[in-house]
Structure 1
């Protein structure tokens, strides 16, 4: 199943720190098989695999776990030592407090805070040099995923606030965090119920070593938690596309979810989407993955995704991304173009 693709806005943002310290980012993009010309189109997207490769290239080039996006570098191994320090705690609350204390020992790093309120727990992050707000957003995601990993259960977030104006890709944030999202808030952070703090840690040193081999991108990667109707519909469509170019109709999906088509439409509308938008997103992500990661001829890919003509696929792809399918071929030019 094709994973969700990633907006070019995040690609630009993650490059900003390396650019600030004078690293030539073009070779890094090429090593990640991301054509540099894609950065000029606001509608462009890359695969999760391409973004992960870029992350690793930036990590090596900057020698900084914050990729040059913080006011001071974070030496490689810092995150791992924080995790080891937190692993010996009795519960999640103590682990979070130890983690915040650990990062507080390093001047110039992001300002992290965990605060108990009458309504629950608030985790806030501040990084004044992060002009794209990417590092602060990543830290919120990583801490949420790390805490969930430590206790072996997904912590349900009540809200996520961001202290910056809504970006062009603002509609993706609720899918990423699985909760109501607000922009232009007084701080960047998220909240959850206080009972999670008493949850015992269930991971050991071996599990931590395995997790760290895939960190941080494994923690940043989107998980399909199935917590919204849109996610359930999207998953059903993505699974169906693996075996047939014909995607289930809205009525067929509604029957699988044991609701009427009208009810399904209303529920998707409440989540600011529609069956058609989700179907387009599934095909778009599968198309980008097929073009970027494989050598499948474009004509074969178009047919596999349910397009009866190449021209229809080209029109759809340009509508989705602003460019042609050929531009998404691997940067080394090894892909088939016809």
Structure 2
């Protein structure tokens, strides 16, 4: 419980490469235990486990680290070799420069750069990576590149590097509200570039990882880097983590006053800070309950009445109304759809998504 769910917009986006290649995506969705009908509802969400299964199924099918989303494929092992190339660097700045230089060796690969001033470092993705940047689904890979590089840098230094800002060279997508939690910073659309900025002092941070820990990371990358939310540094993230921990212990979620006390601020201050991040305490409470409900329905067989009580609803009908408001369907219908036939062997722990090269 407490793990975030993922908007159906991202599910559609990650399937875009397979669709463009003329592949049948229904078996891929079934292998991930994602009901294909969910893709038609903009309010639908899936669990991180379902999304991870879909990533792995797409990787096995496309044999492309970009999952067919880019104008040119990236051969398996490319990301791993870039990571190994950074291991001998003395600090994060040199590691980022080496990583961007590595991808510059590929004519159709990502065009990345690192620039710096005394106060700020900026990581920029210069070229759109999708084949048709007019569609949101084809911008998804560019956004993933920003997220993965930011979180890889945090992993390399063993620290949570907060982003100051992130901006994107296209209009806001329908699910604009998701971006604050994805990047943990103010986000702007319609900018002149796609980039993210952070305090320049992080470039001098020493690397604390070695090849052994890198091997472990690569067994889960890039999905683990895309979904690990502990790098978030916003007030909303702090509140959400606090609420998720509380829900694991009791169906009664703390009030705004209780949460403010836990964060050592006044209720009015907490309300103002959440408002500046374009969210509210009630919205975060709903999101925590929603994600817990979706995860329980998709992955388990807990009776719906018991689930409703565990999530703090006084009666089943209240839970049904809330779930329909969140997802556009009922808890029972979501469970039936998610527990449809699963192809033999799917859902098992498979090969690393980005295989590391063989050790010499």
TM over 0.5: yes
Q: Determine the structure 1 residue equivalent to 2:108.
A: 108
Instruction: Mark the CA change 1:25 to 1:99 in structure 2 (over 3 Å): closer, same or farther.
Output: same
- Taking the aligned partners of 2:176 and 2:327, their CA distance within structure 1 comes to 17
Instruction: Mark the CA change 1:88 to 1:169 in structure 2 (over 3 Å): closer, same or farther.
Output: same
Q: Aligned-pair distance for 1:118?
A: 5.9
Of the three residues 168, 179, 187, the one matched with 1:173 is: 179
- Taking the aligned partners of 2:97 and 2:268, their CA distance within structure 1 comes to 47
Q: Determine the structure 2 residue equivalent to 1:152.
A: 158
Paired residues for 1:54-203 under 5 Å = 54-117=54-117, 119-125=119-125, 126=127, 127-129=129-131, 130=133, 131=135, 132=137, 133-203=139-209
Q: Aligned-pair distance for 1:280?
A: 0.7
Q: Aligned-pair distance for 1:173?
A: 1.2
Instruction: Mark the CA change 1:128 to 1:307 in structure 2 (over 3 Å): closer, same or farther.
Output: closer
Between the two proteins, the alignment pairs up a number of residues equal to 335
Instruction: Mark the CA change 1:249 to 1:15 in structure 2 (over 3 Å): closer, same or farther.
Output: same
Q: Determine the structure 2 residue equivalent to 1:313.
A: 319
SS of residue paired to 1:192 = strand
Bigger relative contact order, structure 1 or 2 (CA pairs below 8 A, ≥6 apart): 2
- Taking the aligned partners of 1:297 and 1:65, their CA distance within structure 2 comes to 39
SS of residue paired to 1:218 = helix
SS of residue paired to 1:242 = helix
1:249 partnered with 2:241: no
Q: Aligned-pair distance for 1:52?
A: 0.8
8 A contact 1:295–1:334 mirrored in 2: no
**Structure 1: unaligned runs, 5 residues or longer:** none
Of 99-108 and 219-228, more deviation after overlay is shown by: 219-228
SS of residue paired to 1:160 = strand
1:325 partnered with 2:325: no
How big is the alpha-carbon RMSD for the aligned residues of Structure 1 and Structure 2? Answer: 1.8
Instruction: Mark the CA change 1:224 to 1:148 in structure 2 (over 3 Å): closer, same or farther.
Output: closer
Instruction: Mark the CA change 1:128 to 1:218 in structure 2 (over 3 Å): closer, same or farther.
Output: closer
Could you list the per-position Cα deviations for residues 221-272 of structure 1 after superposition, in whole angstroms to 9, with x for gaps in the alignment?
1323462322222222111111221111222222323333333222222222
Paired residues for 1:256-335 under 5 Å = 256-329=262-335, 331-333=338-340
Instruction: Mark the CA change 1:298 to 1:269 in structure 2 (over 3 Å): closer, same or farther.
Output: same
Q: Aligned-pair distance for 1:128?
A: 4.8
1:41 partnered with 2:41: yes
8 A contact 2:89–2:95 mirrored in 1: yes
- Taking the aligned partners of 1:93 and 1:236, their CA distance within structure 2 comes to 33
Could you list the per-position Cα deviations for residues 113-168 of structure 1 after superposition, in whole angstroms to 9, with x for gaps in the alignment?
22234652221112252532100000000011111111111222121011111112
- Taking the aligned partners of 1:94 and 1:311, their CA distance within structure 2 comes to 57
Of 85-94 and 75-84, more deviation after overlay is shown by: 85-94
8 A contact 1:35–1:327 mirrored in 2: no
SS of residue paired to 1:124 = strand
- Taking the aligned partners of 2:36 and 2:188, their CA distance within structure 1 comes to 32
Q: TM-score, normalised by structure 1?
A: 0.94
**Structure 2: unaligned runs, 5 residues or longer:** 343-360
